[in-house]
C-alpha cells in the first residue's frame, strides 16, 4: 500500500480516533487537533503538481478482492488532483473557521468525526479508479452528509433536510450503480481508465444509452441539477462550516467530477451533448431566478450554488462538442472545458467565503433574515470588504476571478451556435439566451446580497443581538479566500499551466494550447452580452419591488418541493393502509398469506414451465428411515390433536430429536449434537413461556377455519416435497460437498466441516450475519437507554412538581 492509499484513508482513520481525543481533551477546542490532517494532505497533494504538469498520471494498485474485481486502485491525473486540492485546501480553511464558529459546548467529537468521514469519502470518489470502490465512497458521501446536515438533531428542519438529501442522492446513487455495472459489462473491466481506453466497446454496446442515462441521473442528483436540486436548499440547516464545505468543494462537486470523468466515454453521443448542456442551463436559469426571492442569507447562497453548478455543467456539455471535431476546430470547443475548470476553482473561492461571512453575520447579529439586516457596513467593515470582493466575483464583475470564467462561459455558449451539428446552429440559439437571462438574475441576487446585509439603515431593534465585527480567527479563512479571488483575477496564469491545463487535458481528447484569460478580448459578442447583463441587472435591482411580486405569485402546487412532500405523505399513507389489510397482528394470518403465496407462485411456475422428476438416482430406503419417518408423522399428528400444551411441546420436541437421529445415520454427528442442543433449549424456553401465558381455549375454531389450515398445510407440504424432488432430480452442476470434504483440512486446517464452512468458506456471509445481529443489538441497547433517560426525566419532572407544591 502506497502513501497515496494511506492519504485517502487518513481522514477515515482519524474519524474513528477523534471522538476519543475529544473525551480526553475537552479544555482545548477539538478543531486544533483536526486542523493538521487536511493541511498535511493539501501539502502532500501539491507534490503531485509537477507530475500532472508533464502530462503524466499515476496509477497505484492495492489488491483487495480481486476475484470480485474490487481492488483499492487509485488514479491521480490533472482532474483528480484538482479536486483533491479543493477538498483538502477548502477543508483546512473550513476546520480553521469551525474552531471559532462552534462552541466547545457542542458535540464536537461527533462533528469532526462526520467532517473527516466526509472528507475521506470525497477523496475516495475523485481518486478511485475502481468503479465498485468509487460507488462505495460515493454512497459514503451521502451518509456522512446526512450526519452533518442533521448535526443539530433537535431542529426538525435539520432532520427534514438530512432525510431529503439522503433520499435524493441515494436514489441517484442506485442509478449510478446500475450505469457502472453496465459499463463494466461492456468492457469486462472495473477500471475507469481502462473503460476510457476501451470507449469504443461501450459506444457500440447495446447498453450505451441506458448506461449514459443512469450515470447522468447519478451525477444530476449529487450536483443538485434540475429537477433534483430540491435537497440542496434544505441542506443549509447544517452548521455553516458544513454548508461552506458542502457547497464549495465537496459533495455537490462530485457530480461535476463524474460528468467530466465520463465525458471521454459518452461525448460521442448527441444525447450527452444536449442533455448535459440543457440541464445545466435550465438549472442556471431556474435557480438564479429563485435565489432573488429568498429571505434567508443561506437560502440565497444555496440557490446560487445550484445556479453556479448548472453553469459549470453546461460548459462540460458544450465542451463535449470538441469530440466531434479534429485539430483546431476541436480546440475551439474544448475551451469550454477550460472555462468549466476555471469556474470550478473560482466558485470554491468566492462561495466558501460568502458562506463563512454569512455564518459570521449570523453569529454577530443572531439572524440571517434579510428583512432584519442592513446598515452593517460601519459595524462590520472587514466582513463588508470580504463580501464585496466575493459577491462581485460571483456576479461576474471585473477585476475579480469570477468575471474571467463568466466571460469564457459566455464565449463558449455563443460559439456553440456556430456548430453545424445536431441542429445547434438553429435551435441552439436558445442556449445563449437562457445563459444570458440566468446571468442577469445572478448579477441581481449577488449585488443585492451585499446591499441587504451592509447597506441601508441599521435596525438595531429588529436584531436579536447587538451587532459587532467577528473575531479575527473567524475571519482568517474568508480573508484567505477573498485574497485568492483577487489573485486569481489579476494573475490567472498562476494556475493555468499548473492546475487548469492538466485538468482539461484529462477531459479533452485534444491537447489544446495553454489556457489564457484576459479582462478584455475586444468587442466580441461575449463583451456586449456582459454589458447587457450589467444594464438589465441594474434596471432589475432598482425595480425589484415591482417584479419580485410576480415570482411570489407562483402557486405552491407548481413547485417540485410540493410534489416531493405530498408524494412522501401519500406513499406513507397508502402503504400503511395496504399493510394494515394483511398485517393484522395474528401469526396465523401471516402464515396463511406466506404459505398461500408459496403454493400459488409454485403452481404457476410449474404450470408455465413443467419440470420432470428423475427417480433414477434416488437412494434405497432403509428400514430405520421408514421407522423414523413414521415416528415423525405420528408425533406431528398427535401434536395437532393434543388438548394439552405440555403434550404439544413434547411432541414438537420429539420431531426435532427424530430429525437429529437422521443426522446421526447420515454421518453428521456434529449437526446431530447441534440439533439436540437446540431442541433441548427450545423445549425449555417453550415450557417457560407457555407457563406464563393465559389459559385460553383454542379448540373452538369453526370448521372453515380448520379446513383452511388443513388445505394450506397439505399444499405447503406438497410444494416443498415437489421442489425438493425436482431439485434432486435435475442437478446441472456437481455437488460442492466433495470440494468441502477434500479441502476442509488442507485449506482451512479444521476438522469440523460445518464449522469450517461457516467460518472459512462462507466467512463473509457469516461475518455479515454477525454484523446484522450486532447492529440490531446496538439498536435495542440504544432504545433501552433512550427509554431509561425518558423515564428519568419524567420522574425528575414529577419530583420538581412535588417540590414546588
Count, in order, helices (H) and strands (E) of the chain: 34, 2
Please state, as a whole number, how many other Cβ atoms lie within 10 Å of the Cβ of residue 544: 14
Residue 597 has pLDDT above 90, yes or no: yes
> Rounded CA gap, 524 and 160, in Å?
47
Going by pLDDT thresholds of 50, 70 and 90, the confidence category of residue 380 is very high
Whether a cis peptide bond, with omega within 30° of 0, leads into 399 is yes
The C-alpha cell at 476 is 482568517
Cα torsion 457, 458, 460, 463: sign: positive
- Rounded mean pLDDT of 232-258? 93
**Residue entry with cell 490567472:** 492
More confident residue, 794 or 624: 624
Tens-digit pLDDT profile for residues 655-669: 999 999 988 888 788
The C-alpha cell at 716 is 405447503
Going by pLDDT thresholds of 50, 70 and 90, the confidence category of residue 424 is confident
Buried b (16+ CB within 10 A) or exposed e, 44-55: bbeebbebbeee
pLDDT of residue 792: 62
Spell out the alpha helix ranges (H) of 204-326: 208-222, 231-234, 240-248, 251-266, 270-291, 297-319
> Rounded CA gap, 525 and 518, in Å?
15
Buried b (16+ CB within 10 A) or exposed e, 596-618: eebbeebeeeeeeeeeeeeeeee
Going by pLDDT thresholds of 50, 70 and 90, the confidence category of residue 697 is low
> Rounded CA gap, 422 and 386, in Å?
44
> Rounded CA gap, 469 and 484, in Å?
22
The C-alpha cell at 786 is 433512550
pLDDT of residue 223: 94
pLDDT of residue 802: 46
- List the end-to-end C-alpha distance of the chain, in Å, as a whole number: 69
> Rounded CA gap, 802 and 173, in Å?
55
51-to-76, 107, 370, 603 alpha-carbon distances in Å? 10, 41, 47, 65
Tens-digit pLDDT profile for residues 163-208: 999 999 999 999 999 999 999 999 999 999 999 999 999 999 999 9
Q: Which of 91-100, 416-425, 609-618, 662-671 has the lowest mean pLDDT?
A: 609-618
How much of the chain, in percent, has pLDDT values that exceed 70? 96
pLDDT of residue 775: 93
Q: Which of 30-39, 289-298, 717-726, 731-740 has the lowest mean pLDDT?
A: 731-740
pTM for this prediction = 0.83
User: Which residues are CB-contacts of 620 (< 8 A; sequence separation ≥ 6)?
Assistant: none
CA 227-229-232 angle, 5° bins = 165
Please state, as a whole number, how many other Cβ atoms lie within 10 Å of the Cβ of residue 514: 11
> Rounded CA gap, 675 and 54, in Å?
68
Per the prediction, the chain carries an average pLDDT of 90
Going by pLDDT thresholds of 50, 70 and 90, the confidence category of residue 722 is confident
Residue 448 has pLDDT above 80, yes or no: yes
pLDDT of residue 709: 87
Whether a cis peptide bond, with omega within 30° of 0, leads into 597 is no
With H, G, I as helix, E, B as strand and everything else as coil, classify residue 97.
helix
Q: Is 619 exposed, middle or buried (0-12, 13-18, 19+ CB in 10 A)?
A: exposed
Nearest in space to 346 (alpha carbons), one of 248, 444, 205: 248
Cα torsion 562, 564, 567, 571: sign: negative
The C-alpha cell at 224 is 443538485
pLDDT of residue 642: 81
- Rounded mean pLDDT of 285-299? 94
- Rounded mean pLDDT of 441-450? 96
Please state, as a whole number, how many other Cβ atoms lie within 10 Å of the Cβ of residue 89: 24
Nearest in space to 37 (alpha carbons), one of 109, 82, 87: 87
DSSP string, 463-497: -SS---PPPHHHHHHHHHHHHHHHHHHH-THHHII
> Rounded CA gap, 117 and 10, in Å?
10
Spell out the alpha helix ranges (H) of 518-586: 525-542, 544-552, 560-582
> Rounded CA gap, 740 and 761, in Å?
8
pLDDT of residue 803: 44
- Rounded mean pLDDT of 459-478? 92
Residue 530 has pLDDT above 80, yes or no: yes
CA 379-385-389 angle, 5° bins = 155
Q: Is 776 exposed, middle or buried (0-12, 13-18, 19+ CB in 10 A)?
A: exposed
Q: Which of 195-204, 279-288, 447-456, 734-743 has the lowest mean pLDDT?
A: 734-743
More confident residue, 797 or 709: 709
> Rounded CA gap, 400 and 393, in Å?
5
> Rounded CA gap, 637 and 434, in Å?
78
> Rounded CA gap, 718 and 737, in Å?
27
More confident residue, 484 or 663: 484
Q: If DSSP states are collapsed to H, E and C, what string results for 729-788?
A: HCCCCCCCHHHHHHHCCCCCCCCCHHHHHHHHHCHHHHHHHHHHHHHHHHHHHHHHHHHH
pLDDT of residue 622: 84
Q: Is the distance from CB of 432 to CB of 529 less than 8 angstroms?
A: yes
Q: Is 9 exposed, middle or buried (0-12, 13-18, 19+ CB in 10 A)?
A: middle
Residue 700 has pLDDT above 80, yes or no: no
Q: Which of 72-76, 249-253, 791-795 has the lowest mean pLDDT?
A: 791-795
Nearest in space to 379 (alpha carbons), one of 295, 299, 459: 459
Going by pLDDT thresholds of 50, 70 and 90, the confidence category of residue 694 is confident
- Rounded mean pLDDT of 53-69? 89
Q: Which of 17-26, 268-277, 551-560, 729-738 has the lowest mean pLDDT?
A: 729-738
Going by pLDDT thresholds of 50, 70 and 90, the confidence category of residue 613 is confident
> Rounded CA gap, 787 and 335, in Å?
61
Amino acid at each position: 500500500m502506497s502513501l497515496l492509499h494511506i492519504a485517502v484513508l487518513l481522514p477515515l482513520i482519524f474519524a474513528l480516533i477523534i471522538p476519543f481525543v475529544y473525551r480526553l481533551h475537552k479544555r482545548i477546542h477539538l478543531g486544533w487537533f483536526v486542523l493538521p490532517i487536511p493541511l498535511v494532505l493539501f501539502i502532500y497533494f501539491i507534490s503531485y503538481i509537477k507530475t500532472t504538469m508533464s502530462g503524466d498520471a499515476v496509477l497505484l494498485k492495492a489488491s483487495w478482492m480481486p476475484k470480485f474485481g474490487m481492488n483499492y486502485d487509485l488514479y491521480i491525473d490533472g482532474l483528480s488532483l484538482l479536486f483533491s486540492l479543493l477538498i483538502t485546501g477548502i477543508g483546512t480553511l473550513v476546520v480553521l473557521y469551525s474552531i471559532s464558529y462552534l462552541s466547545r459546548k457542542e458535540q464536537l467529537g461527533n462533528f469532526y468525526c462526520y467532517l473527516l468521514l466526509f472528507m475521506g469519502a470525497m477523496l475516495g470518489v475523485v481518486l478511485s479508479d475502481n468503479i465498485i470502490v468509487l460507488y462505495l465512497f460515493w454512497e459514503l458521501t451521502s451518509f456522512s452528509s446526512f450526519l452533518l446536515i442533521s448535526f443539530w438533531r433537535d431542529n426538525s428542519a435539520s432532520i427534514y433536510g438530512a432525510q431529503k438529501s439522503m433520499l435524493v442522492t441515494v436514489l441517484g446513487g442506485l442509478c449510478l450503480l446500475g450505469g457502472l455495472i453496465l459499463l463494466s459489462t461492456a468492457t469486462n473491466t472495473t477500471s475507469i481508465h481502462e473503460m476510457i481506453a476501451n470507449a469504443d466497446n461501450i459506444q457500440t454496446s447495446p447498453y450505451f444509452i441506458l448506461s449514459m442515462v443512469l450515470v447522468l441521473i447519478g451525477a444530476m442528483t449529487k450536483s443538485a441539477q434540475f429537477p433534483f436540486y430540491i435537497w440542496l436548499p434544505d441542506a443549509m440547516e447544517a452548521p455553516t462550516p458544513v454548508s461552506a464545505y458542502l457547497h464549495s468543494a465537496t459533495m455537490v462537486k462530485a457530480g461535476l467530477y463524474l460528468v467530466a470523468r465520463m465525458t471521454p466515454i459518452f461525448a460521442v453521443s448527441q444525447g450527452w451533448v444536449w442533455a448535459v448542456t440543457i440541464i445545466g442551463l435550465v438549472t442556471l436559469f431556474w435557480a438564479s431566478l429563485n435565489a432573488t426571492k429568498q429571505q434567508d442569507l443561506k437560502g440565497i447562497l444555496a440557490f446560487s450554488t445550484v445556479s453556479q453548478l448548472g453553469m459549470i455543467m453546461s460548459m462540460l456539455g458544450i465542451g463535449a462538442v470538441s469530440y466531434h471535431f479534429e485539430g483546431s476546430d476541436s480546440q475551439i470547443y474544448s475551451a469550454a472545458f477550460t472555462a468549466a475548470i476555471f469556474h470550478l476553482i473560482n466558485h470554491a473561492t468566492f462561495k466558501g467565503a460568502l458562506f463563512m461571512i454569512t455564518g459570521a453575520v449570523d453569529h454577530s447579529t443572531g439572524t440571517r433574515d434579510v428583512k432584519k439586516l442592513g446598515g452593517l457596513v460601519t459595524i462590520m467593515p472587514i466582513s463588508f470588504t470580504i463580501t464585496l470582493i466575493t459577491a462581485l466575483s460571483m456576479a461576474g464583475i471585473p477585476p475579480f476571478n469570477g468575471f474571467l470564467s463568466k466571460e469564457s462561459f459566455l464565449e463558449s455558449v455563443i460559439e456553440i451556435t456556430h456548430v453545424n451539428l445536431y441542429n445547434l446552429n438553429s435551435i441552439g440559439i436558445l442556449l445563449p439566451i437562457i445563459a444570458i437571462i440566468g446571468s442577469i438574475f445572478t448579477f441581481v441576487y449577488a449585488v443585492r446580497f451585499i446591499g441587504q446585509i451592509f447597506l441601508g439603515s441599521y435596525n438595531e431593534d429588529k436584531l436579536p443581538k447587538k451587532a459587532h465585527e467577528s473575531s479575527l480567527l473567524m475571519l482568517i479563512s474568508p480573508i484567505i479566500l477573498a485574497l485568492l479571488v483577487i489573485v486569481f483575477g489579476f494573475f490567472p496564469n498562476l494556475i493555468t499551466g499548473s492546475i487548469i491545463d492538466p485538468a482539461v487535458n484529462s477531459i479533452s481528447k485534444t491537447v489544446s494550447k495553454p489556457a489564457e484569460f484576459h479582462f478584455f478580448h475586444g468587442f466580441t459578442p461575449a463583451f456586449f452580452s456582459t454589458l447587457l447583463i450589467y444594464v438589465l441587472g441594474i434596471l432589475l435591482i432598482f425595480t425589484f419591488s415591482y417584479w419580485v411580486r410576480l415570482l411570489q405569485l407562483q402557486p405552491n402546487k407548481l413547485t417540485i418541493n410540493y410534489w416531493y412532500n405530498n408524494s412522501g405523505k401519500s406513499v406513507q399513507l397508502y402503504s400503511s393502509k395496504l399493510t394494515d389489510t394483511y398485517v393484522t397482528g395474528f401469526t396465523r394470518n401471516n402464515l396463511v398469506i406466506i404459505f398461500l403465496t408459496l403454493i400459488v407462485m409454485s403452481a404457476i411456475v410449474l404450470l408455465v414451465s413443467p419440470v420432470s422428476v428423475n427417480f433414477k438416482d434416488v437412494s434405497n430406503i432403509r428400514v430405520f428411515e421408514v421407522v423414523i419417518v413414521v415416528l415423525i408423522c405420528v408425533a406431528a399428528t398427535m401434536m395437532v390433536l393434543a388438548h394439552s400444551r405440555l403434550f404439544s411441546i413434547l411432541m414438537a420436541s420429539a420431531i426435532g430429536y427424530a430429525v437429529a437421529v437422521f443426522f446421526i445415520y447420515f454421518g453428521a454427528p456434529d449437526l446431530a449434537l447441534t440439533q439436540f442442543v437446540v431442541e433441548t433449549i427450545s423445549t425449555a424456553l417453550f415450557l417457560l413461556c407457555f407457563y406464563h401465558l393465559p389459559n385460553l381455549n383454542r379448540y373452538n375454531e369453526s370448521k372453515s377455519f380448520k379446513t383452511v389450515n388443513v388445505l394450506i398445510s397439505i399444499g405447503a407440504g406438497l410444494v416443498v416435497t415437489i421442489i425438493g424432488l425436482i431439485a434432486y432430480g435435475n442437478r446441472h452442476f456437481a455437488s460442492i460437498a466433495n470440494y468441502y470434504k477434500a479441502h476442509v483440512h488442507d485449506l482451512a486446517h479444521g476438522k469440523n466441516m460445518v464449522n469450517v464452512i461457516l467460518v472459512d468458506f462462507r466467512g463473509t456471509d457469516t461475518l455479515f450475519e454477525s454484523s446484522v445481529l450486532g447492529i440490531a443489538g446496538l439498536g435495542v441497547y440504544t432504545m433501552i437507554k433512550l427509554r431509561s433517560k425518558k423515564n428519568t426525566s419524567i420522574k425528575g419532572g414529577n419530583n420538581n412538581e412535588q417540590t414546588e407544591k
